[in-house]
Amino acid sequence: MLSDFIPFFIQLGIAVGLSFTLLKAAALIGPKRDNVIKMTSYESGMDPIGSARERYSVKFYLVAMIFIVFDVEIVFLYPWAVSFDEFIAAGAGPGVMAVVLFFVIILAIGLVYDIKKGGLEFD
Amino acid sequence: MDLSQAYSMMMTDLGATLFLLIVAVSGLVLVVFDAFKPRHVATPWIAGLALSAGFVIEMMSIGAPEGLAWYDMMRTGGSAAFVNSLVLGSGALSIILTVPYLKKIGHNIGEVYAMILFATVGMLVLGAANNLVTVFVGLETMSICLYILTGFVRSESGSTESALKYFLLGAFSTGFFLYGIALIYGATGSMEFGAIRIAAEQSAGVMFWGGVSLLLVGFLFKVSAAPFHMWTPDVYQGAPTTITGFMSTASKAAAFAALVVVLWKALPAERWADVLAVFAVITMVIGNVIALSQQNIKRMLAYSSIAHAGYVLVGLASGSQAGYSGALFYLMVYTIMNIGAFGVLALLEWDGKEGSEQTLESLAGVGYRKPFLGWTMAVFMFSLSGFPPLAGFLGKWAVFAPAIDADLVWLAIIGVLTSAVSAYYYLRVLVVFFMKPEGENSPMAEHSFDIPRSSAAVLIACVVLLVVFGVTTFALDVTSGFFAADTVTQFLG
């Protein structure tokens, strides 16, 4: 039972070891040319000084929603595209194509709605 | 299974869930349509016709025997069709009431109709679920749409506040629900109702019962049973009135239907009788007693809806065929009564002065100025308090009588006593409507308005349905047919 997990532990060891090594190596041998902007804390391009309760433009969320649309799309479409040859070989090409088209249409509706409502118009 | 067989199965399943397809696709069409033609007159028509079409389809399949679709993920026919037609009918009536209401409050947003359709899709999935995953998907689809519907009047702080409260508490209860599903799956190795029951009858340990408890917390939150009711008054008061009518009826009916089916098919009911009885008592007492002191009518109806959840729980606590069918019947009656009551309240907001802050004082003497609204409200209030010729009485009988048969006489006594208490606050509305002189700052004195014909038709339909279901018992026979003993075995095999 536990021996099934040996590859997992090897992977875990490599992941932890590699990230630790890389971080440490970068800190030891990397050149350091600091300036003021580089040393400020990361705030997605906003000025980090000031009230945290500022009002953000709702556009940020609309862009994020469009991103989600494409993100979800690629997660499902990539494995589908890779294995589509096998579906054709099994004679399921048109049916699987129709299902995926339906999925893409639903996502496209979200995209059309977002654009039509001015989600990409920055002023 | 070869491919052609899979395709033909898919076509059969699509046919069996055609109502769901119609509503979902219409919702998607509406989203695009509204983006290109905002505030178009056709928007509510598309939504209303989609719901009506689904309603007709499901009404016709109520008599059909229970079946399964989508690889046993959903149930069709029988009780599922009954709950679905309840939800679809409630949605259609709400849309008719919502059209003039939105115009009046100046938020004629097309997305509202799309959201009502998507919320209905969630409720349909919930009411027809045969698997805990399906229940969860339906519950979330429904809830997320309802959070948005609660807060779409962005200019009003009460609306946004209630939406945020609803969202935060709802997300919290979703966590309970999901964790419950995970524990049950861990204990039984399945999420399908029948398989859970088989596994639970062989061995049910702490993990299983812990999971069931968390699951029950999630369900009781959604049906606003005490002590998980705290969101209800704020949300019902803050939401736009016709939307309150929609979510207090359809979402409660769907969530209760799912709970009934889970109890009936997945869990050995006899072990839950006492637990549900305790929740029923707490819910009935808290709902009815706190409603006594409410001045705001919407808030009072919110507490009354908590109390009605308690009455339905009495039916569930008896754990018998009669109890479950009585609960479904009660949900139907409750839906009709509340759609009507909130419809009247929405119309009384017409002057635009009081908004959702309608208190008992501000409505003094309304019954004389608007006799139609006064008399329909009288019917709904009498029915809510359970007066004999109306359906509210038969509904209460349908849930209390099985409790007595199940040796829960004390529970039935508490139920009858608390519903006697409820008569005070229901009838006080009528006292205010008909027996109080109009106050000086009564908005109705200055503003007169015409009742839209569509809204009047909905109210009349609700009144007629209440009388019909009050004097005939065929609906009760229909619901009790769903829970006949032989239908259980077909899912166990």
Interchain CB distance below 8 Å, A109 and B7: no
Residue in A116, A120, A121 to test binding to B, most B beta-carbons within 10 Å: A116
pLDDT at B442: 54
Pairwise CB contact (< 8 Å): B32 & A109:
yes
In chain B, the residue whose alpha carbon lies closest to the alpha carbon of A114 is B35
Q: State the pLDDT at residue B444.
A: 52
pLDDT at A44 over 80: no
pLDDT at B422: 93
Which residues does chain B have within 8 Å of residue A110's beta carbon, measured at their own beta carbons? 31
Nearest CB neighbour to A109, from listed B3, B7, B31? B31
**In A, which residues are within 8 Å of B148 by CB distance?**
none
Interface of B with A (CB under 8 A): 3, 7, 28, 31-32, 35-36
The larger pLDDT score, comparing residue B450 to residue B467, is at B467
Contact A106 B28 (CB under 8 A): yes
* pLDDT on residue B439: 61
Q: Which residues of A touch B (CB under 8 A)?
A: 90-92, 95, 106, 109-110, 112-113, 116-117
Among the partner residues A90, A95, A109, nearest to B28 by beta-carbon distance: A109
Contact A116 B28 (CB under 8 A): no
Residue type, B380: F
Average pLDDT rounded to a whole number, residues B423-443:
79
Between vectors from CA B157 to CA B33 and to CA B41, what angle results, nearest 5°?
20
Q: Give me the mean pLDDT over the B324-339 stretch.
A: 94
- pLDDT band for B490, please (50, 70, 90 cuts): very low
pTM confidence score: 0.88
Taking contacts as CB-CB distances below 8 angstroms, the residues of chain B near A92 are 3
pLDDT score recorded for residue B443: 53
Which of A1-10, B150-159, B307-316 reaches the highest mean pLDDT?
B307-316
Average pLDDT score over residue span B416-424? 93
Average pLDDT score over residue span B370-395: 91
Mean pLDDT across B169-194? 93
pLDDT of residue B489: 45
pLDDT band at B357 (very low <50, low <70, confident <90, very high): low
Given a cut of 80, whether residue A123 has pLDDT beyond it is: no
- The per-residue pLDDT for B441 is 54
Amino acid letter, residue B318: S
Which of A92, A106, A110 lies nearest to residue B3, judging by beta carbons?
A92
pLDDT at B404 over 50: yes
How confident is the model at residue B289, as a pLDDT? Answer: 94
pLDDT of residue B360: 77
B177 compared with B388, residue with greater pLDDT? B177
Chain A residues within an 8 Å CB radius of B32:
109, 112-113
- Taking CB atoms and an 8 Å cutoff, what residues of chain A touch B43? none
Output the pLDDT for position B351: 56
Instruction: Give the whole-number percent of chain B exceeding pLDDT 70.
Output: 94
Identify all chain A residues contacting B35, using CB atoms and an 8 Å cutoff. 112-113, 116-117
DSSP string, A3-64: GGGHHHHHHHHHHHHHHHHHHHHHHHHS-----HHHHSPP-TTS-SSS-TTPPPPTHHHHHH
Residue B90 has pLDDT above 60, yes or no: yes
Residue with tokens 């009826």: B249
Q: Which of B3, B7, B32 sits opposite A113 (nearest CB)?
A: B32
State the ipTM, two decimals: 0.77
The residue-averaged pLDDT of B56-81 equals 88
pLDDT of residue B285: 95
What would the 3-class secondary structure string for chain B be?
A: CCHHHHHHHHHHHHHHCHHHHHHHHHHHHHHHHHHHCCCCCHHHHHHHHHHHHHHHHHHHCCCCCCEEECCCCEEECHHHHHHHHHHHHHHHHHHHHHHHHHHHHCCCCCHHHHHHHHHHHHHHHHHCECEHHHHHHHHHHHHHHHHHHHCCCCCCHHHHHHHHHHHHHHHHHHHHHHHHHHHHHHHHCCCEHHHHHHHHHHCCCHHHHHHHHHHHHHHHHHCCCCCCCCHHHHHHHHCCHHHHHHHHHHHHHHHHHHHHHHHHHHCCHHHHHHHHHHHHHHHHHHHHHHHHCCCEHHHHHHHHHHHHHHHHHHHHHHCCHHHHHHHHHHHHHHHHHHHHHHHHHHHHHHHCCCCCCCECCCCCCHHHHCHHHHHHHHHHHHHHHCCCCCHHHHHHHHHHHHHHHCCCHHHHHHHHHHHHHHHHHHHHHHHHHHHCCCCCCCHHHHCCCCCCHHHHHHHHHHHHHHHHHHHCCHHHHHHHHHCCHHHHHHHHC
Query: Is residue B473 over pLDDT 50?
Result: yes
Q: Tokens 């479950």 correspond to what residue?
A: B324
- Inform me whether the pLDDT recorded for A10 exceeds 90: yes
pLDDT score for B270:
66
Q: How far apart are CA B75 and CA B129, in angstroms?
A: 6
B35/chain A closest Cα distance in angstroms: 6
Tokens of B81: 């069709």
The more confident residue out of A123 and B264 is B264
Contacts B38 to A, Cβ<8 Å? none
- Of B65-79, B162-176, B177-191, B281-295, the least confident: B65-79
Is residue B447 pLDDT above 80, yes or no? Answer: no
Size of interface A-B (CB pairs under 8 A): 18
CA atoms of B422 and B284, how far apart (whole Å): 10
pLDDT given at position B493 = 37
Mutate to test the interface with B, among A102, A113, A115 (most CBs of B within 10 A): A113
Are B3 and A90 inside 8 Å of each other by CB? yes
Q: What mean pLDDT do residues B257-274 have?
A: 83
The C-alpha atoms of residue B432 and residue A63 are separated, in whole angstroms, by: 52
Confidence of residue B378 (pLDDT cuts 50, 70, 90): very high
Arithmetic mean of pLDDT, B179-208: 89
Tell me what the pLDDT averaged over chain B comes to: 88
Of A69 and B421, more confident? B421
Interface test with B, best of A96, A109, A114, A115 (most B CBs within 10 A): A109
* CB pair distance less than 8 Å for A109 and B3: no
What pLDDT score does B3 carry? 73
Q: Residues B420-433: what's their mean pLDDT?
A: 91
Give the residue-averaged pLDDT of B181-202: 90
Work out the pLDDT band at B410, boundaries 50, 70, 90. very high
**8 A C-beta contact, residue B103 and residue B242:** no
Do the chains contact at A91 and B3, CB–CB below 8 Å?
Answer: yes
Would you place residue B326 in the very low, low, confident or very high pLDDT band (cuts 50, 70, 90)?
very high
Report whether pLDDT(B492) > 50.
no
Among the ranges given (B53-57, B108-112, B201-205, B468-472), the one the predictor scored with the smallest mean pLDDT? B201-205
The predicted model gives B201-226 an average pLDDT of 90
pLDDT at residue B139, rounded to an integer: 94
Give residue A13's identity as a one-letter amino acid code.
Answer: G
> What is the tens place of the pLDDT at every residue in B101-130?
888 888 888 889 999 999 999 999 999 999
Is the distance from CB of B81 to CB of B61 less than 8 angstroms? yes
Residue A118 C-alpha, separation from nearest chain B C-alpha, in angstroms:
10
